[in-house]
Each structure stands twice: as structure tokens, then as C-alpha cells.
Structure 1
Amino acid sequence: MNKLAQATAVAVFVAGLSSSQAQAVTFTQVGDTGQTLDTAQVIPSGSLPLESISGAISAPNIAHLFKIFLTGGQTFSATTINAETLLQLPVDQALGIPTDLLVDPQLFLFDAAGKGVYGNDDSVGTQATLPSGGFSPAQSGAYFLAIASSGYTPVSTLGNIFSPANAAGLFEPTGSGAAQPFSSFTGQGDEGRYTISLTGVTTGDNSSAVPEPEQTAGLVAAGLLGIGYQLKKRKHQKSLKRISGLPLQ
């Protein structure tokens, strides 16, 4: 990528963020995401559609919570189903190839007070989905999205928040601890990498269409890191071609 192309890529990225019709963005966990309401990772606000959240669960926090923003009247959904988990993971498992993916995830949604909304364990294979149409908030506001491996269960001070899966495969907040907010997880959890694809989620209160300068700066930084990675990768590929005598592109 030449300097003009690099500058163009950065300009397009920044313009996309500052536009009133900004494109969707993705978010990757920063540092070690917590597994309680107080330590949940807060998605930087800026009123942009949030397309996905990626991360990797590892000890000591073997569940991750993210504070997200849902818009009233819009349908919400979240799923760990993608090409890697739907196609690659089963093949690797059949061949006995080790994987760094979170093999059997669960997803849970809590309201701003930490009360359970709904959850899911196995929707397709071992992957989890909070389906479109399963929940649509009446009013806009903050929610908490949690991901953990199967067997690691969210509880309140009174017990399990969610009951066993209903006929639709969803966990409803009708357990003995449902009347109280989420306080912790109990059980055994596994580690692994994940991506949660989302609909109906924004990076913050969408009452303002344009991100604040400091919010835009943070998202621009994330974009520049991605561009820098691509440049480094391309430089490495050119070096390999020089060594092998292949023509450079």
C-alpha cells in the first residue's frame, strides 16, 4: 500500500466515523474484561451501529460482561455463529485438531439494573444465539451482555437467575434468584476466543448522531491499528517474495 493509499484509507475511516450516516463498527476487548456488573467492559459511546464484539476469555475472568446500548423499539440479537464456529470448529474437532475458540459458549442479557432478560446455550451445534424477535426493548437504555462457557452459570444472592431452557431453547429469568440482580457466576468455565455478531446495538446513546471528539479519537486509533497491521502484513509478504524470487505486486 503506497503513501497515497494509506492516507486515503485513514481519511475514509475518519470520514465514516464523522458522518451522520456512519457505518457499523466492531469492538475488540481492551485488556481483561470483567465478569461482574462493576467490572464490565464499557463500549465507547458514539452512536454508531455496533456490528460485533470479539475477545478471548482467560483466567481469572472466565466470563465476560459488556455494557451495551439498545434502542427502544429496535429488535436485538446476538450470536456466536460464524464461519469459524459453524464450519472450521466441527472439522477441527472431528480431526482432533486443537482449537483456541470458545467451544461451547452461552450468552446472557441483563438490563441496566442487572436483572436477567434472557439467555441461550446451544442454538446450532454448541453455539449460542439470542434470537432476533426474542427481545425488543420498550425504551432505549444500557444493558449488559455476558458470554461464558456452558456450565458457568449467572446467579444472584438468591440463586440461579435463569430456568432451564424452554421449548424455544431460551433461558427465561424465572429461576429462584430472578428477583435480584446478577451478582456472580458459579460452576466451571472454559477459556477461548469468541466473536459475538450483533443487531440492534449501538456504541452509545443515539440521541446524537455524531461522536464526540474524544470518542472519535478512540475509534480512529482502533482503525489505525488495523491499518498498521495490514501494512505490516503486506511488508512481510513482500519480504517473503523477495527471498523466494517471486514477482512483487
Structure 2
Amino acid sequence: MSFRRVFTFGILAFATSMASSALAGSWVEIGDAGSLPSTAQYVLGSGPLDLISGQLADEFDVDVYAIYVDGGGTFSASTVGLTSVDTKLFLFDASGLGVYGNDDADVFTLQSLLPAGDPLTPLAAGVYFLAVTSYPIDPLSAGGSIFLQPLFPEEVVGPVGPGGSSPVTGYDGSGEAGAYGISLTGARFINNTAVPEPSTLTMTAGAAALGLGVGAAKSRRGRRAESGRA
């Protein structure tokens, strides 16, 4: 077995032991989760995953977590009642392609909901990437915006923007810092057997799981005006 493989699985074993020592079903951000699938924090362990909690460190911060989704339309993610931050949530598939996103869960809250049972909710099980940002930060690909801003912010949006057919590469805008929680259904910790091969994991996902913040690219573009925002 190569040194790289031994090193990688040593990282995975350490992160898994930390996850198992936390409250059952919950994960607390280790260090600063990366902002892209290549630098995501892998939520390692076993069993159902009910809650992720973390911190947006500054107005440009974006946190991305690699989780296992059960499929069958059962997945949901929500920050409602778990943060004072004006959040946005986005889900990407294993290739970094957008699945769906949401700004406001309803007209009464500035927090976010990716619902179960929506036509855009994943049917296929597997590893997905869940991103939490603050308003008005949006994901970009090489082709531009992945998700178009909806007419009503409580709408669930698919990857119908000009960059929707390409993987996420960065973000546009700046928002706010603060602590958050994300409640989940239809999600699990990632068992080591579901983690990508070491050639793609070493010094990216593995290091991010240790909170080393490898290559977390944070877009520093100008803040959009928030006129008309509650």
C-alpha cells in the first residue's frame, strides 16, 4: 500500500473518530469548511445525519459539506429557526453540478429550505455537496450563474442559469458572518467505503475534514444592493 493511501485513510479514520464522538446524528464544522466540492468538508461516520452546525467566518465565507443522500426524494435541508443569518442553501451532485437551491423558506423568514418531495429533490442515492452561503452570494460556473434569482425568494430553483450545465467554480457577491445550523432528513454520514479514491481525495477532502482549509477560494466581488430586502 502506497504512502499516499496510508496517509489518506489515516486522515479518514481520524475524522471518523471525531464524528463518532459528537452527538449522534450531528456534525460540527471542523475549522473552516471549503467553498467548493474539491475542498468540501467530508461528514464522515455512520448512521443518519440530522444536523450540521458551523460558522460563516466573514462576509465572503461559503461552507460546503460532502454528505450521503438516501435518494427517493426524502432529502431536505433547512436553516429555519437555527440561525439569525440570512442564508442561502444549494445542493450539488457528485460532479459539482447544481441540483437545487433556495433563498427564503417562506415570506416570513430570511432562512432557507431545500424541501423533500419537490420535483428537484434527488431521487438517486449517493454523495452530494451541500453549500450554505449568506444573501446575496450565489454559485458560479465557467458559464456564469448556475441558479437564476427567482421572482419570489421563497421559490425553489433549479440550475437553469447560463452556467447551469457546468460544475461550480466560485461565488459572486458578499453577505454576512454568523453561526448557523442546518437540519436534515434523508441524509447520512459518509461511510469510508463511499469516499472517492485517494487520488482525488488526498489533500482536498481529507485535509478539509481536518479543518485545514485547503484552497478555499472565496470570491471577493462587490456587494449587490439590497434594496427592497426585508
TM-score, normalised to structure 2's length? 0.67
Question: What residue in structure 1 maps to residue 44 of structure 2?
Answer: 44
Whole-Å Cα distance in 2 between the matches of residues 40 and 60 of structure 1? 19
**Alignment partner for residue 170 of structure 2, among 161, 167, 184?**
184
Task: Encode CA deviations 1:62-82: one digit per residue, 9 max, x unaligned.
Answer: 110000101232511010012
Question: What residue in structure 2 maps to residue 137 of structure 1?
Answer: 122
Question: What residue in structure 2 maps to residue 31 of structure 1?
Answer: 31
What displacement does 1:164 show?
Answer: 2.2
Asked if the contact 1:105–1:147 (Cα under 8 Å) also holds between the matched residues in 2, the reply is yes
Q: Letter of the aligned partner of 1:39 in structure 2?
A: T
Structure 2 residue matching 1:145: 3-state secondary structure: strand
Asked if the contact 1:80–1:129 (Cα under 8 Å) also holds between the matched residues in 2, the reply is yes
What displacement does 1:138 show?
Answer: 3.1
Q: Letter of the aligned partner of 1:160 in structure 2?
A: S
Asked if the contact 1:166–1:172 (Cα under 8 Å) also holds between the matched residues in 2, the reply is no
Asked if the contact 2:27–2:51 (Cα under 8 Å) also holds between the matched residues in 1, the reply is yes
Whole-Å Cα distance in 1 between the matches of residues 121 and 155 of structure 2? 18
Asked if the contact 1:64–1:146 (Cα under 8 Å) also holds between the matched residues in 2, the reply is yes
Matches within 5 A, 1:162-173: 162-165=147-150, 169-173=155-159
Distance change >3 Å, CA 24–CA 74, structure 1 → 2: farther
Whole-Å Cα distance in 1 between the matches of residues 52 and 79 of structure 2? 10
**Backbone CA RMSD of aligned residues:** 2.5
Structure 2 residue matching 1:133: 3-state secondary structure: coil
Whole-Å Cα distance in 2 between the matches of residues 161 and 174 of structure 1? 7
Alignment pair present for 1:197 and 2:188: no
What displacement does 1:206 show?
Answer: 10
Distance change >3 Å, CA 74–CA 45, structure 1 → 2: farther
What displacement does 1:202 show?
Answer: 0.4
What displacement does 1:60 show?
Answer: 8.2
Q: Letter of the aligned partner of 1:33 in structure 2?
A: A
Matches within 5 A, 1:204-243: 204-205=190-191
Q: Structure 2: where are the runs of 5+ without partners?
A: 1-19, 195-230
Distance change >3 Å, CA 52–CA 138, structure 1 → 2: same
Distance change >3 Å, CA 164–CA 205, structure 1 → 2: same
Whole-Å Cα distance in 2 between the matches of residues 43 and 141 of structure 1? 13
Distance change >3 Å, CA 116–CA 73, structure 1 → 2: same
Question: What residue in structure 2 maps to residue 110 of structure 1?
Answer: 92
Q: Percent identity?
A: 39
Question: What residue in structure 2 maps to residue 75 of structure 1?
Answer: 74
Task: Encode CA deviations 1:161-189: one digit per residue, 9 max, x unaligned.
Answer: 01222676112101000111001111112
Moved over 6 A (4+): none
Whole-Å Cα distance in 2 between the matches of residues 75 and 207 of structure 1? 22
**Alignment partner for residue 155 of structure 1, among 123, 140, 144?**
140
Asked if the contact 2:147–2:159 (Cα under 8 Å) also holds between the matched residues in 1, the reply is yes
Question: What residue in structure 2 maps to residue 55 of structure 1?
Answer: 54
What displacement does 1:109 show?
Answer: 0.4
Question: What residue in structure 1 maps to residue 64 of structure 2?
Answer: 65
Whole-Å Cα distance in 2 between the matches of residues 166 and 207 of structure 1? 42
Whole-Å Cα distance in 2 between the matches of residues 118 and 165 of structure 1? 12
Question: What residue in structure 1 maps to residue 110 of structure 2?
Answer: 126
Q: Structure 1: where are the runs of 5+ without partners?
A: 1-16, 18-22, 86-100, 209-249
Asked if the contact 2:139–2:169 (Cα under 8 Å) also holds between the matched residues in 1, the reply is yes
Asked if the contact 2:71–2:125 (Cα under 8 Å) also holds between the matched residues in 1, the reply is yes
